[in-house]
Copies of this chain bind each other. A is one copy, B any other.
Amino acid sequence: MIGKKKKKKRKTGLPPGTPVYTGEYLVGSADITAIRYNADKITEQNADNPTALTHSMPSRGISWYDVRGLNDVQAVEKLGQQFKIHPLALEDILDVHQRPKWEEYDSGIFTTTRALSFDDATLEVKTEQIGIFLGTDFVISFQEDSNDLFPAIRDRLHRQKGRLRQRGADYLAYSLLDHIVDQYYLVLDKIDDAIDDFEQAVLTDPERADKRKVYHLKRQLTEIRRTVAPMREAVNKFILTDSTFIRPATVIFARDLHDHILQITDIIENQRDTLSSLFDLYHSELGQKANHVMKTLTIVSTIFIPLTFIVGVYGTNFDHLPELHWKYAYWGMWLIMAAIAVMLLIYFKIKKWL
């Protein structure tokens, strides 16, 4: 929230296309991991500056530059110049509040997406913008902070001689996107757990259920949906692309990715639905409890208020109050009161209040 506000205040007034970092990560310089590989060879080098990367490209090889730390605007700009990234794309990489998008430029394809993670303590979804630029034989990925999202991909590149090493840069870009989308399931599973907890609470003890959690989870889902919805459009452009940077064989995989995003959308809608139904049920349960309280009050009051009136009558100090002097008047009063109480109880029984 705070970040968003800061951003807009900083950027307003600047010409479009000016690269300005709008996030909150403020540690010194960027971490860049460069991997160059083909089906046979693979080398990896780390640096904090694009010019420090010296290892050579294998023949017919592919390079992957993974940049972590967008506050180092200079490093990003240097890479931008080196790989001819369009100024608008460069701006979008650094402006970390972008809508996920898929843009095709002459020099390559640029896509931004958001990685999600879930903080178990605060039940909050955190999002990080990931920019990916794909050229003929290279992929550049931009992560906002130094927290690395892609060690699993790196492992797969190193360990296996499988599909990832044999296919082109477009397949690597797809793998990165697929890896990010896979994390969404984990986040939604966490939210599922939280919903299950709330459901359990509503079904066992609705008054102790923390309804603020529902509100909180709804906001998280709104946030996730806001991220996922434009990704559907972005991945759709991936599928429909006629760009030369994407091989037709990779498009089949993009269709799989699209299916995942549709499924995630389904799950989100499902969860929103469930939260709404649960909230209705919760209120219904509370309402029924309140009705029960009300009925208890009414039953007790309706029985005792008339009885208290009767004893009040015989508590008066009139000189001439004949009943007071009858021998069995006291027991007669009890009899009458018992009769009234029984009649009222029968009435409540008929009314199904008991």
- Please list the residues of chain A having a beta carbon within 8 angstroms of any beta carbon in chain B: 1, 4-5, 8-9, 11-13, 15-17, 86, 88, 98-99, 101, 103, 152, 156, 160, 162-164, 175, 178, 182-183, 185-186, 189, 192, 196, 203, 205, 207, 211-212, 214-215, 218-219, 222-223, 226, 229-230, 252-253, 255-256, 259, 262-263, 266, 270, 273-274, 277-281, 283-298, 300-302, 304-309, 311-330, 333, 351-353
Contacts and interface: CB of A to CB of B under 8 A. Distances in A.
14 contacts: A16-B256, A211-B288, A215-B278, A222-B273, A229-B266, A279-B284, A309-B311, A314-B317, A316-B324, A316-B330, A318-B324, A318-B329, A318-B333, A320-B327
B296 A297 contact: no
Contacts of A205: 352
A302 B297 contact: yes
A286 B288 contact: yes
A309 B303 CA distance: 10
A215 to B, nearest CB: 5
Copies of this protein in the assembly total: 5
A8 B353 contact: no
A207 B320 CA distance: 47
A298 B315 CA distance: 25
Contacts of A294: 290, 293-294, 297-298
Contacts of A163: 15, 17
A136 to B, nearest CB: 21
B211 A281 contact: yes
